[in-house]
Amino acid sequence: MALSETPDATPRVAVAGCGYWGKNLVRNFAALGALGAVVDDDLALAAEFADKYGAAARTWDEVLQDPALPAVVIATPAASHAALCRQALAAGKHVFVEKPLALTVEEGATLAALAWETGRILMVGHLLHYHPVFLKLQQLVTEGRLGRIQYIYSNRLNLGKIRREENVFWSFAPHDISMILALAGEMPERVLATGACYLHKSIADTTTTHLSFSNGINAHVHVSWLHPFKEQKLVVVGDKGMASFDDREPWASKLLFYPHLIHWRNGKPEPERAEAEAIALDEAEPLKLECQHFLDCVTENRQPRTDASEGLRVLRVLNAAEASMTSGQAVQLSPEGAGTVERLPGPDVHPTAEIDEGCALGVGTRVWHFSHVLKGSRIGRDCVLGQNVMVGPDVTVGDRCKIQNNVSLYKGVTLEDGVFCGPSCVFTNVNTPRAEIERKDEFRETRVGRGATIGANATIVCGNDIGAYALIAAGAVVTSEVPAFALMAGVPARRIGWVSHAGERLGPDLICPREGRRYRETGPDSLEEIPRQSAGMKEATR
């Protein structure tokens, strides 16, 4: 019986690898009541963990043949990941594999295709995607608190955890690259990496990698296992604010928001410094959240947050950086493989639709009659493109977007996750077009924030970003920047109120009638959600 047919059952998993990181996975799956077996080449170690957590010590072959163990967790050395994943998927198992998914893009793509063909879940252990701090940081970015992102840097430094089967870049950097790709919203165009070997002539002990993105973002990742102290820090700099995620700090100060600004006076930039604001967080163990997410995906038969396609994107950057370190030259990344259509496993494209070369379509995406995706465009997971939709060239559409009939997304338009575009809404890319005058060098960019809704026949004049969760009424013409959560109507569009995350119009109390979320105005055209802790304290003191 397929596991998805028994949604109330907690799937039993076998954890392969009880070493440095595997022991933590064993502990968490046991705490979640899901640990069925442990596997390790060190039989004494496997027996020790089996006895400690009330599970069975099994061989890998026994696990693959046991129908009572529908899922496996792979925490073995990276070089074995691809082979073990392939064996598990072929045996009909759902798979959670620690990073990296594989050591080559080809191996990763094969695994992604096999997971789709077998109908099994394939999840990659990019842990920080489940960290409450990173989830909140993503929210700050998508809601526009930091403005337009300019650059990102990440340091992951320590003394120790020295490996011989992989260099420090493959050991430390996948987490940081995964976070940077999520924040940037696209793949980098250019990767330049340098490394140095001190303990072994061919294994890098410290590396620095620079990533350049077409949207103007730059990022760098510095990793080392020859550092005098431990540091795990991610900094994101935007034109309206900056944020720091420092995982070494206590929960109360792990995520800081700095509303610093740069003002231009007499042609010179002058910084305006402000006090750091600690962002309220829900404390939780990220690994436990990650393990629970895997169990939920298996039970509910849904794609994980860090699925095979996400693992493949990280692999592409890892391989490009490795090539750059070897050659001493920057590696130029074409739009996901020039000359080929990268159809990640699972998109459903109608026979009348056209997908140009150099495009990528995510898992679960559907493209309907007579639509056209032009070269260099990326469509995320679980999107719907209705009839007669045109996307591109070089347009990025996030996950779970719905684009209704007769909509064109021209070059310069970016949709973040969860955007709804109503029938026949219009995006422009030149302010004063003339049929007889070439103005491609005057294209202006437009970004539509996470969860925003654009009504039927509305027009978005280029160069005006739409804030997260804003709602543009049918027929409105947007001619200026739209704040997050704004309700816009008219010609030209004016703000006539506020809406919640759920799209409900907010009354004077600024409480969402559907979800109960509370909001507050922070300026004449600025709204933010009140953190649950703050809302609860306010309620308690009334």
Of 128 and 162, the structure prediction assigns the larger pLDDT to 128
Which of 445-459, 510-524, 527-541 shows the lowest per-residue confidence on average (mean pLDDT)? 527-541
> Looking at per-residue confidence, does 208 or 542 come out higher?
208
Q: With 70 as the cut, is the pLDDT of residue 537 above it? A: no
Pick the closest to residue 38 from 10, 17, 61 (CA basis). Answer: 17
The C-alpha atoms of residue 115 and residue 147 are separated, in whole angstroms, by: 38
Looking at per-residue pLDDT, the higher value among 105 and 535 belongs to 105
CB 463 within 8 A of CB 445: yes
pTM, whole model, 2 decimals?
Answer: 0.64
Q: How many CA atoms lie within 13 A of 6 on its CB side?
A: 8
Where on the phi/psi map is residue 26: left (φ > 0), alpha (ψ -120 to 50), or beta? alpha
Which DSSP string do the residues of 105-147 spell out, in sequence order? HHHHHHHHHHHHHHT--EEEE-GGGG-HHHHHHHHHHHTTTT-
Predicted confidence (pLDDT) per residue in 3-14, tens digit: 333 344 789 999
Other beta carbons within 10 Å of 159: 12
Mean pLDDT of the chain: 88
Confidence (pLDDT) at 430: 87
Task: Read off the pLDDT of residues 201-233 as tens digits, 9 standing for 90 and up.
Answer: 888 899 999 999 988 899 999 999 999 999 999
Q: Reduced to 3 states, what is the DSSP secondary structure of residue 412? A: coil
Q: Which residues contact 88 (CB under 8 A, 6 or more apart)?
A: 64, 72, 74, 95
Q: What angle do CA 353, 356, 361 make, to 5 degrees?
A: 75
With a cut of 50, say whether residue 33 has pLDDT above it.
yes
Rounded to whole angstroms, the Cα distance separating 430 from 262 reads 28
Residue with tokens 């298996």: 298
User: What is the C-alpha to C-alpha distance for residues 170 and 203, in angstroms, rounded to an integer?
Assistant: 10
Average pLDDT (482-490) is: 97
Task: Say which residues have a Cβ less than 8 Å from residue 83's Cβ, sequence separation at least 6.
Answer: none
State phi, psi for 298 to the nearest 5 degrees: -65, -45
Q: What mean pLDDT do residues 289-307 have?
A: 90
Alpha-carbon distance 94 to 13, whole Å?
9
534 closest CA partner among 314, 183, 277:
277
On the question of pLDDT at 1 being above 50, the answer is: no
Which tops the pLDDT comparison, 209 or 341? 209
Cross-strand bridge partners of residue 378 = 360, 396
Q: Indicate the pLDDT class of residue 346, thresholds 50, 70 and 90.
A: low
Per-residue pLDDT tens over the stretch 240-277: 899 999 999 999 999 999 988 777 777 788 887 888 89
Element (H, E) at 268: strand 268-272
Residue 328 burial class via C-beta count within 10 angstroms: exposed 0-12, middle 13-18, buried 19 and up: exposed
Nearest CA-CA partner of 184 in 287, 317, 278, 362: 317
In sequence order, what are the residues at sequence separation of 6 or more whose Cβ sits closer than 8 angstroms to the Cβ of residue 90? 114, 118
What DSSP letter does each residue of 140-156 carry, written as one string? HHHTTTT-SEEEEEEEE
- Rounded to the nearest angstrom, the gap between the alpha carbon of residue 328 and the centroid of all alpha carbons in its chain is 29
Query: What are the residues whose beta carbons fall under 8 Å from the beta carbon of 287, sequence distance 6 or more?
Result: 24, 25, 28, 127, 130
Report the distance separating Cα 463 and Cα 502, nearest Å: 26
Say if residues 243 and 256 touch (Cβ distance below 8 Å): yes
Q: Which domains does the chain have, with CATH numbers?
A: 3-126+288-298 (3.40.50.720), 129-283+319-331 (3.30.360.10)
pLDDT tens-digit readout, 405-427: 999 999 999 999 999 999 999 99
**Strands across the sheet containing 477-478:** 354-355, 372-373, 390-391, 408-409, 426-427, 459-460, 477-478
Could you tell me the pLDDT band of residue 117, with boundaries at 50, 70 and 90? confident
Rounded CA gap, 123 and 380, in Å?
17
Determine what percent of the chain is predicted with pLDDT higher than 90. Answer: 64
Name every residue whose Cβ is closer than 8 Å to that of residue 435 and which is 6 or more positions away in sequence.
none
Q: Is the distance from CB of 504 to CB of 512 less than 8 angstroms?
A: yes
